[in-house]
Structure 1
């Protein structure tokens, strides 16, 4: 299952994270879906080209994800443990769920509630979701003998307080001056 990995890859490749770019690309997608000739052109792109694009984009997604650990102390055994277990379980648990899914779509979770089974099977079949969940759980529950600097927490401080960084005003405002009519509680 590929959710938004391509978007993260493009963001890492182009370093453009503006809301305006997303709005323009949305207009392009709507335009291409309405007019079939343009959609047919993109559908005619050979599969090896798409495979090459996926190799580059998904490689960048992995690299961008790994760059987040640059602010943590990589010599700390606790941080190495959290990263290693998160990556290992992020690969192995979804593989187990994929291998044990029947051809009719029933996964390993087998409770009486079908909707609940679908939710859990979908969550545990996604490598990024499992790795993020395990990493967050371990990072917040393991005893931290290190300081907050070793965990990389001070780097995230400006982004927790939206008024503390001037760049955040653009990212948290509504598009098309809607914030003039619907004020946000953060501004």
Structure 2
């Protein structure tokens, strides 16, 4: 879920079209391959889209793939990793405040395509934001050093599954927003929900600019043709 939101935020900061479903599926699919390799090499962490890098994209206004590739080469082959590791933590904290704040504001900017004079939309937005903050805080109060959260049954996998979901503010906010948006006056409010604006971005062929933004480099599109 974090990666899907980061994809959309990156596209907006790069002044690209919203990624269609095919592009999102392709990105998440390759992310799954990365997680598989993470497990094989025993990294202990899973691959995900970095929210910090998305914020950095908006801060620097540099969205070129070539820049990212060259930077990755320097990090692997050079001593630049040691330079970043030597940066004091207060500097990192200040930078994170800016980066996460920027990404959060980009997410809220998508509301411009909806009618925010509608009480329905105001209710959904406010409730999803409030519950997205309060419910994870409530669950985190019951998290002890043994990693036993509010849900504490004899099935450890079930405890971890449920607690992980409800300790994530973004996940809780998404669940509440999607549920309310698809149950409250759905048919009467398609225009208020901004649905007409999103229609042309649902498919790869829906907008001729998608090919410019989302074509894979090195002619890889012939192996992964858009659907």
Q: Which TM class, normalised by the smaller chain length?
A: 0.7 to 0.9
Return 37-46 or 83-92, whichever deviates more.
37-46
Residues 1-187 of structure 1 correspond to what in structure 2 (within 5 A)? 4-14=50-60, 20=65, 24-25=67-68, 28-29=71-72, 31-33=74-76, 35=78, 37-144=79-186, 146-180=188-222, 182-186=223-227
Query: Structure 2 stretches of 5 or more lacking a match?
Result: 3-47
Contact 2:204/2:226 (<8 A) preserved: no
Normalised by the length of structure 2, the TM-score is 0.69
| Deviation per residue, 1:155-175 (Å, 9 max, x gap) | 111210220212212444333
**SS in structure 2 opposite 1:150?**
coil
Alpha-carbon shift at residue 62 of structure 1 (Å): 1.5
Work out the number of aligned pairs and report it. Answer: 180
Q: Whole-Å Cα distance in 1 between the matches of residues 154 and 69 of structure 2? A: 40
Return 155-164 or 24-33, whichever deviates more.
24-33
Return 155-164 or 144-153, whichever deviates more.
144-153
| Deviation per residue, 1:56-110 (Å, 9 max, x gap) | 1111112111111111111111101100110001101111122211112222222
| Deviation per residue, 1:109-145 (Å, 9 max, x gap) | 2233322322222222121121112111110112236
Query: Structure 1 stretches of 5 or more lacking a match?
Result: none
Q: Whole-Å Cα distance in 2 between the matches of residues 14 and 31 of structure 1? A: 18
Normalised by the length of structure 1, the TM-score is 0.82
Q: Whole-Å Cα distance in 2 between the matches of residues 124 and 26 of structure 1? A: 36
Given the superposition, is the C-alpha separation of residues 87 and 53 from structure 1 closer, same or farther in structure 2, using an over 3 Å criterion? same
Q: CA RMSD in A?
A: 2.5
